[in-house]
Amino acid sequence: MPIIAAVTLWACSDPSEGTGIHTSGGKTGQDIEYKAPDYADDYSAIASWDYHVQWNLANIHDPSVAYYDGYYYMYGTDASYGNEHLKATRGRHFQGRRSKDLVNWYYVAGPFNDAPSWVADSLNSIRLRMGLTPINGADIQYGYWAPVVRRVIVGGKDVLRMYYCIVIDNYIKSGKPTSAAFDGSWSERAFIGMCESTDPYGAVWEDKGFVTCSSSDKGRDGWTRADAGNWNDAYFYYNAIDPTYIVTPQGKHYLIHGSWHSGFALLEIDAESGKPKTALGNPWADSAEELTARYGQRIGTRTATSRWQGSEAPEIIYKDGYYYLFMAYDGLDVPYNTRVVRSENIEGPYYDITGRNFTNGRGDCYPIVTHPYRFEQGYGWVGISHCGIFQKEGTDEWFYCSQGRLPANVGGNRFSNAIMMGHVRRIVWCPASASEPDNLWPIALPERYAAVPDSKITSNDLIGTWEHIGLVYDYAHQNLSQDVVLKADGTVTGAITGKWSYDEATKRLTLGNVVVCVERELDWEANPRRETIVYAGVDKNNKVTYWGKKI
């Protein structure tokens, strides 16, 4: 396929230059006053492009984070409230942010202003080989989705590498936009490309071109579709979107991608070039076996019998002998929620906390890492998924980032569900059950990260009333909080009853038969915002995740 390399130069301005680490109530160190972040969750008042330097984490969707040259860089899908990002004159696509402290984030231009020319060239080269008429470049409908960024060493240099997705929203048969009348075919394919930068702040990226694309096991001509409403038997076996990227402890590089359709593909990548090690050939085959031998091994699927399985956005990390594979379930507007499975081998099989085999598509997986929720104050959040997972530089602390959407009709705004605020949350590693203290699984904390000063948490600190949420799978509904009271006599009443105990050394709180992890965080719903204590944990036997906040 034609590959066209290009260097794009975009300028940007970053007020974070020289501002140092965020300190946000209480004291940290000797006399440094902690100041809670004061940016509004409902950012509609500054949604205009004219205010983009004030956005902070406003208008973040499908984020990925990597540490590079002293900063955390975050990039995501092209999405904003009112599509204001399209008013950017430079670096319009895959716009980013950067931060020193994971709390204050400043705008960074993206790598592209227009779709790289190789996308149209590759698309039409495939169409010609399929006996189809090429689509005029001006008629191609592009979507810019879900990049992943990683710091890698290439030629002895630290490089920020980005794999990005460009989706073609035209019909296969006629080449017309899918906004036109249904023409009896599936929509066109998605492409994954790659670019690299040694100056992401200056938005200087070198595009490396084509990596892979959507591929089919139904042969060259199996793209017809009788019913526009039938999504269960799609032409594409692999959908080339939502990449995640990992370098294994053995030094092997892998790209994992996929969405809905048939599941997630594992594709080995050459470390230096960033391209597939195996020659892909034509993006079709007459069987899944023939296709996957070239386009990647399937390592997971929510439902093996359907191509409309409602899972997407794989994200993978390696920790303590396991590959943890995070994924998004269901639609992104409200029901989006996050699950995680793990394997001792990159190829799988991947199992959930109950032993269910995700690689073989044995049904819904647990634990729930995030889910739509609401504490008593505030409107809560929905659409919390498509996550990036990253490690804080120089520590063993792990973080979860995603968008969160406001529910509908917040403040009388019928478009409030389109308000997307970036969420950064710490991850705690929680025992699967009280009898398995060393079987640890990652759960995001219920409150977003705000660099609250750390200090010892004692048993006395925990006595009092908490808002408790049992995160259970409830499609398109927010899980609501209930009161739980931890009493000085070691009993707990309210939504949980029984005994409680606390291990200060491990910061593990036992509530009845469940062990949760305790941390200091910010009560974002309080007015004014204030420091508090939160917990997160999992009850694998009942498939429930526990979230709590002291009030």
Q: Over the stretch 151-190, which tens digit does the pLDDT of each residue have?
A: 999 999 999 999 999 999 999 999 999 999 999 999 999 9
- The whole domain housing 151 covers 6-329
Q: Which long-range contacts (CB under 8 A, 24 or more apart) does 178-187 make?
A: 178/141, 179/141, 182/228, 184/224, 184/225, 184/226, 185/223, 185/224, 185/225, 186/223, 186/225, 186/234, 186/235, 186/236
Single residue among 329, 350, 383 that ends a domain in this structure: 329
Residue type, 418: A
Pair (321, 464) in one structural domain? no
Confidence of residue 15 (pLDDT cuts 50, 70, 90): low
Q: By C-alpha distance, which of 147, 143, 343 is closest to 243? A: 147
C-alpha distances (whole Å) from 375 to each of 10, 84, 203, 484, 526 are: 42, 30, 39, 13, 10
Give the pLDDT score at 10: 37
Residue 537 belongs to a domain: yes
Last residue of a domain, one of 329, 349, 365: 329
In the predicted structure, residue 231 carries a pLDDT above the cut 90: no
Angle at 459 between CA 456 and CA 465, to 5 degrees: 110
In a domain, 113, yes or no: yes
Same domain, 467 and 320: no
pLDDT at 93 over 80: yes
If one counts every other C-beta atom within 10 angstroms of the C-beta of residue 514, the result is 24
Residue 29 has pLDDT above 90, yes or no: no
Q: Looking at 184-223, which runs of residues are DSSP E strands? A: 190-199, 204-213, 215-216
Write down the pLDDT at residue 26: 39
pLDDT tens per residue across span 114-149: 999 999 999 999 999 999 999 999 999 999 999 999
pTM, to two decimals:
0.95
Q: Residues 100, 22: contact at Cβ < 8 Å?
A: yes
Q: Using the predicted structure, report yes or no on whether residue 420 has a pLDDT greater than 60.
A: yes
What CATH number is associated with residue 114?
2.115.10
Tokens 């409200």 locate to: 334
Amino acid identity of residue 64, one-letter, is S
Q: In the predicted model, what is the mean pLDDT of the chain?
A: 94
CA distance 333 to 383: 5
pLDDT tens digits, residue range 272-297? 999 999 999 999 999 999 999 999 99
Residue 438 within a domain: no
Domain membership of residue 416 (yes or no) is no
Residue-level pLDDT at 28: 37
Q: Are residues 320 and 466 in the same domain?
A: no
pLDDT for position 19: 38
Distance CA 288, CA 517 (A): 43
DSSP letters for 441-463: EEEE-SS----PPP----HHHH-
* pLDDT at residue 6 greater than cutoff 50: no
Q: Confidence band (pLDDT; 50, 70, 90) for 14?
A: low
Confidence grade of residue 1 (pLDDT, cut at 50, 70, 90): very low
Beta bridge partners of 342: 324, 351
Structure confidence by residue, pLDDT tens digits, 190-217: 999 999 999 999 999 999 999 999 999 9
With CA atoms as reference, report the closest residue to 378 among 426, 415, 430, 416.
Answer: 416
Q: Into how many domains does the chain fold?
A: 2
- Are 466 and 325 contained in the same domain? no
The arithmetic mean of pLDDT across residues 477-506, rounded, is 98
Are the C-beta atoms of 130 and 150 separated by less than 8 Å? Answer: no
Distance, in Å, from the CA atom of 307 to the CA atom of 263, rounded to the nearest integer, reads 8
What is d(CA 445, CA 471) in angstroms, rounded to the nearest whole number? Answer: 12
Contact assessment for residue 516 and residue 442, using Cβ atoms and an 8 Å cutoff: no
Nearest to 420 by CA among 435, 437, 407: 407
* pLDDT confidence band for 230 (50 / 70 / 90): confident
Of 306, 329, 352, the one marking the end of a domain is: 329
pLDDT bucket at 298, cuts 50 / 70 / 90: very high
Q: What is the pLDDT of residue 11?
A: 35
Pick from 102, 103, 26: which is nearest to 454 by CA?
Answer: 26
- In-domain check, residue 546: yes
CATH of the domain at 508: 2.40.128.10
Diameter of the chain measured on Cα atoms: 77
**What's the rounded mean pLDDT across residues 240-250?**
98
Please report whether residue 318 resides in a domain: yes
Interatomic CA distance for residues 15 and 156, integer angstroms: 31
- The answer to whether residue 508 is domain-embedded is yes
Helix (H) or strand (E) segment spanning residue 294: helix 288-295
In-domain check, residue 402: no
